[in-house]
Amino acid sequence: MSFAGKYDFESEENYEEFMKALGVPNEAIERGKNVKFYTKVVQNGNDFTWSQIYPCHTTTNKFTVGKESEFEMLNGDKVKVTVKLEGGKLHMIFPKYVHTAEIEGDKLIEISVSGKITLKRCYKKAA
């Protein structure tokens, strides 16, 4: 399964609730609402460079499936995580949430779960 490509943000569900569950300050949550951004994925076999490009900054995580790598989480903290690829989905277990990413047709779907709160983000592959 190839994740490579540029994906334009389309929609998200439960952003505010999820960020609050992670302890992100209200000011940062407000700044993050309605921000237009995209995700760029470069994949070479099991090696990935995963970037989220925002108007004011870019967050880039580099990782290899099956090897421990450093990640910047949604709240800005940095942690070590081992990414697994199971059933065509990338799985990551962070200290405060579990994250999966998968391709469905021309869409990138990311789901993050913290307790009972699920953040779902959908992106459409750019032409």
Identify the structural domains of the chain with CATH numbers, from first to last. Answer: 5-121 (2.40.128.20)
What value does the mean pLDDT take over residues 32-51?
93
| Contact assessment for residue 1 and residue 108, using Cβ atoms and an 8 Å cutoff | no
Angle at the Cα of 110 (from 104 to 55), degrees rounded to 5?
115
pLDDT per residue as tens digits for the range 12-23: 999 999 999 988
pLDDT over 70 at 74, yes or no: no
pLDDT band for 108, please (50, 70, 90 cuts): very high
pTM: 0.91
pLDDT over 70 at 80, yes or no: yes
